[in-house]
Structure 1
């Protein structure tokens, strides 16, 4: 029976012959039979009614999300880097949505990152997590409570550290956006908070009239 070979399957058509080595010289007689030979196993023939398996979809994991250069939030304190003991110090974050385009597994990926929560470490052994970045308040902002303000109970210098969590959505080759499983954690540069104490006194003279008066000396903590 003749065999047909598909060139796409790397098959080679072989025509069989019969070799008679009992005579000199040996004779070669075509048998009329042929076969397909393959360098490895012959590919399985397609089964009617069964679709070929689809390629596995491209998935952007949290690990791949974390590899992207997501910009950390900026920490702002009001007034800048300064606060009073036992008073509310207003601190807030400035974070932005970001978009990245990169190649992954021979596909073009568009990834959008958006800030969703903020983990505050105030540097005094306490912390908080908020879903709002906070914002500025009018005036000097001394002892103004806000959703992201903090009361330091002792004086000193404290390094405030902020971790912003970003949710991600990605598109593969222009397809619909789908969410990344998990949130990317991005840590900001530490922010110095210098906390001082205050004292109240009634005086009849200012420091020009009486340089040695109460409150005219250099401040101490």
Structure 2
């Protein structure tokens, strides 16, 4: 952050912001220079008892389009409280660590459903689909209240037989039972029999705000995986039998006879 202007940016070398705006904060009742709005001071937000028990300062957040010559600062949000003895050092510190914190959040990757399940047939299309939702978290970083929103944006399917599909934006969807076996965006046909562990990895895009300040994008994405879903793949055989099960009870096709998988 530039202490003279209040502007802040991510210090990570080579990082590119996806936010079209830039932000700065001003004291809630500050008119510029050494002047303050007397009426505003009478109803100024009280910033006491912060996350670490310290007092903060009431601020208003402003924004303007990034990289636009002559762009004017305009009201964005607030008033809200900023808790830090040196707020000019606070936001870059949080920006530098927010991606790591995001990856360590207990974000639920979602659930996986297979149709049919838990058994399917070799060579037939098995429809897989996911259910994942936006999630919100409140954490503390450097003594500041940070609100994080995680939104699912991409999905990668590992079907357990060496086939991986994604990352791509479709989570798939359910089919009515009379349409099971149809090819879908996220379906898969297994070429061999056996038990396979299907794992979905969901990529989440995040935003964060500090002390109810403006939402800012979290660089990159966080990847989170589901617990494996076991799918048993069987083969289907059609045979004509001439044996009499009364005389040959263990013959192929007779009740109780071994089933070939």
Q: TM-score range, shorter-chain basis?
A: 0.5 to 0.7
Question: Which residue of the other structure, out of 139, 148, 159, is the alignment partner of 1:102?
Answer: 139
After TM superposition, give the deviation of residue 140 of structure 1 in Å: 5.3
After TM superposition, give the deviation of residue 106 of structure 1 in Å: 2.0
CA change 1:65–1:126 in 2 (3 A) is same
CA change 1:219–1:160 in 2 (3 A) is same
Say if 1:87 and 1:142, in contact at 8 Å, map to a contact too: no
Counterpart position of 2:165: 128
Give me the whole-angstrom Cα distance separating, in 2, the residues matched to 1:183 and 1:218: 51
Q: Secondary structure at the match of 2:108?
A: coil
TM value normalised by structure 2: 0.57
Question: Which residue of the other structure, out of 94, 113, 125, is the alignment partner of 1:76?
Answer: 113
Q: Is 2:101 the counterpart of 1:61?
A: no
Which sections of structure 1, spanning at least 5 residues, go unmatched?
1-48
Say if 1:97 and 1:112, in contact at 8 Å, map to a contact too: yes
TM superposition outliers: structure 1 runs of 4+ over 4 Å: 201-204, 215-218
After TM superposition, give the deviation of residue 61 of structure 1 in Å: 2.6
CA change 1:78–1:218 in 2 (3 A) is farther
Counterpart position of 1:165: 203
CA change 1:218–1:94 in 2 (3 A) is farther
1:1-221 to structure 2, matched below 5 A, reads 55-56=88-89, 57=91, 58-59=94-95, 61-129=98-166, 130-139=168-177, 141-201=179-239, 214=253, 217-221=257-261
TM value normalised by structure 1: 0.67
Say if 1:95 and 1:115, in contact at 8 Å, map to a contact too: yes
CA change 1:142–1:213 in 2 (3 A) is farther
Say if 1:84 and 1:195, in contact at 8 Å, map to a contact too: yes
Query: For residues 51-109 of structure 1, what are the alpha-carbon distances to aligned partners after superposition, in whole Å with 9 as ceiling and x for unaligned?
Result: xx970323153211012111122111112222111110111112111000111112111
After TM superposition, give the deviation of residue 151 of structure 1 in Å: 0.7
Counterpart position of 1:16: none
Between the two proteins, the alignment pairs up a number of residues equal to 166
Which sections of structure 2, spanning at least 5 residues, go unmatched?
1-32, 34-85
Q: Secondary structure at the match of 2:149?
A: strand
Query: For residues 4-39 of structure 1, what are the alpha-carbon distances to aligned partners after superposition, in whole Å with 9 as ceiling and x for unaligned?
Result: xxxxxxxxxxxxxxxxxxxxxxxxxxxxxxxxxxxx
Query: For residues 125-151 of structure 1, what are the alpha-carbon distances to aligned partners after superposition, in whole Å with 9 as ceiling and x for unaligned?
Result: 111013111111011554221111101
Say if 1:79 and 1:141, in contact at 8 Å, map to a contact too: no
Query: For residues 107-136 of structure 1, what are the alpha-carbon distances to aligned partners after superposition, in whole Å with 9 as ceiling and x for unaligned?
Result: 111100011111111111111013111111
